[in-house]
Amino acid sequence: MSSRYVMDTTSPTITVMDTTPPIISVIVPCYNVENYLKQCLTSILAQTFSAIEIICINDASTDASLAIMQGFAADDVRMRIIDKPNEGYGASCNRGLDEARGTWVAIVEPDDWIEAPMYERMLDFAAGFDEKIDIIKTPYWRIWMPDTDIEHKFNCSYRRRIKPPQQPFTLAEASHLITHHPSIWSALYRREFLEEHHIRFNEYPGAGWADNPFLIETMVQAKNIVYLDEPFYCYREETPEKAAQFVRQSTLLPFDRWHDMMDLLDRLGVTDESIIRALYSRAFTYHAGIIEVVPLENEAVLSATERLFQRMDPELVLSDDELSPSSKKMFCDVLSLPYPRISGMRYTLRLIAKGFYNLRNVGLGFTWYQVKEYFAKRRSRISESVNE
């Protein structure tokens, strides 16, 4: 396999680049990930589909990340290293998109890993359709409580739930895809599709939740999505302690990203109710995660909540059977709207159905753990309101 040396113009780092056009360009944006990077890169290089290039973007790491990349690149000409100033996750991904030569583009976050047949299975699946596919999507593995004695691997919360009427499909036919974690990395994107629509990441400081707008911009504009219901991507979740710390430090960031996503729907002229409801669902999920740590009575949170709810259509919110009666009442209270008599029966039935789904998806033990956590948090909120 022929190769040539190229030098990144923003850095003295010399990298090896294979001149054979790859089928998949795998972008790995890196910043201070020395504890996980070896596992991540090993898993990519071990893919059973070998026609790939791995574009490692070093975002001015101050640990041993760059040295680890260089060690891997010395042994495999499919790896390219771009060493650049610190600009954040979005800018790093954009640099990778600019450099990509593959027919398909993948993103792997450097603290995660992927199973060996991932890309081969995804491409084989997409090859079974006559249409030109824009996005190949899969579920993922949740690595719960990573790096602890109770670490466990679970299905994500949408495995076995994405059931479009046919394949390929559009987002309006499977809007449930955008109600969960963005999981933009458990997918392949046709590079020409990204170029045709000028799709790039917003370049926020740090990580910045840049994956949220990217999810919407790709999913909404894709004409042909296919979904393979097999997980391969292993995603290290934050521990509850780290998640709570994030909320305390960046309390309003989820709200900001939700508004960015709504701005995209407005710009793209999206009026499909199922997509809008799905994005509302994300807003309530974000909101619940925030007020578990910072109370609604907090002046900044209350103000941001009012702005959040003011952007929603009350009719869509109050008629959504996926939303709990308590969420609907909070919506009305915050906006000083009359709370209509709403039967909770349909929501209760959906909650029961979700319980049976969880039993199948993650097992009895973890389902019971989730139930206990839910009621513990509920008791805590009630106790706090009584004490006030």
Model confidence over 103-123: pLDDT tens digits?
999 999 999 999 999 999 999
Give me the chain's average pLDDT, please.
Answer: 90
- Write the burial class of residue 248 (CB in 10 Å: 0-12 exposed, 13-18 middle, 19+ buried): exposed
pLDDT of residue 341: 80
Low-confidence ranges of the chain (pLDDT < 50): 1-7, 9-17, 382, 385-386
pLDDT of residue 374: 61
- Sequence-distant (6+) residues with CB within 8 A of 285 are 179
- Sequence-distant (6+) residues with CB within 8 A of 44 are 26, 28, 52, 54, 108, 114
Packing angle of the helix pair 253-267, 299-310 (nearest 10 deg): 20
Asked if 135 and 223 count as a contact pair (C-beta separation under 8 A), the reply is no
Phi, psi of 300 (to 5 degrees): -70, -40
pLDDT of residue 32: 98
Q: Domains of the chain, with CATH numbers?
A: 1-237 (3.90.550.10), 253-347 (no CATH)
Q: How many CB atoms lie within 10 A of CB 25?
A: 23
pLDDT of residue 11: 44
Residues 15 and 7: their CA atoms lie apart, in Å, by 6
pLDDT of residue 3: 33
pTM over 0.85: yes
